[in-house]
Structure 1
Amino acid sequence: MPLRPVIRFPDPRLKEPAALVTVFDAALRGLAADLLETMRAAPGVGITAPHVGIPLRLVVLELEPGAVRTYVNPVLDRISRETICHVEGSVSMPGVTAEIERFAQVTVRYRDLDGAELIEEATGFHAVCHQHEIDQLDGVFWLDRLSRLKRERAIARYEKLRRA
């Protein structure tokens, strides 16, 4: 399970939609294991295959130590009207965070690593993580959810960190 290099903002691959996974095999399970180790090393609580330059719809979340969940081809089935604000960041832009408004509850339809279709309901931080990672699979980087002014400030902070 090697660590994979995380691509960094503003790499244009972070803005490309990921392709559906169609083959559920040992290579997919290996990629999921690599993503987990890469995410832990970053560190982070969520990562997608596009974060390591592989344009596939694969997400790994570990919101609590040891509670690893893998989502293949996830999509939002239902969303609540209620919203919440949460501080977000990215393994592709370490050291920079900002508060983003998201739906408070979501229902996610996805496949597991064997291809079985599943449905999961999530609230609060878990719901925020699903939306953040599915956005990434759709080519929507988290900065895109900020106002122009907040986005420019976040980018300036990141550039300052990179120079330091």
Structure 2
Amino acid sequence: MNTEQLRQSLKHKWLTYYAENHYWIARLQVWVDCDGKRRPSSGFILATLSVLEPQLNHLLPLIVDLSSNPDRIVAALGLNFNPDEYLEKLQKSQQKAAPVNSEPAQSIAKSKMVKLLPASSSEILSPLEQSPKQVSRIDETCQGGRYRRKKSELK
């Protein structure tokens, strides 16, 4: 694999990973401003890519020998950009290129959507929605390893 192919592969894998996990990554305190670009820290990006791209694990010792500055390594790999802005531009260009009512375009858009937990409170049953007796009974049935209750005490 040549260096340009490696850069493209790393960029694709990083953006795919980021798109699937941006909700929690955005909440981490790993964001930095590097050369005027807001992005996750170089250490976070390199650690993530070392898991996603096995070939990078073989190259990182050599790369670090050449430069131990993680920001320079990320820049050399072509990853010094804001992934949110890049994905937004990519999505806009795909929307312009794809017909509005085509099914393949809609399926691609759906596959790139982030899957979050259900937002509707009706989909999630909260213990508070149960009666207080049910909650206390559930709590009282919890048994530790040392203490065992008799069945008559649970009623």
Q: Which has the higher helix share?
A: 2
TM bracket, shorter-chain basis: under 0.3
TM-score normalised by the chain length of structure 1? 0.26
Q: Which has the higher strand share?
A: 1
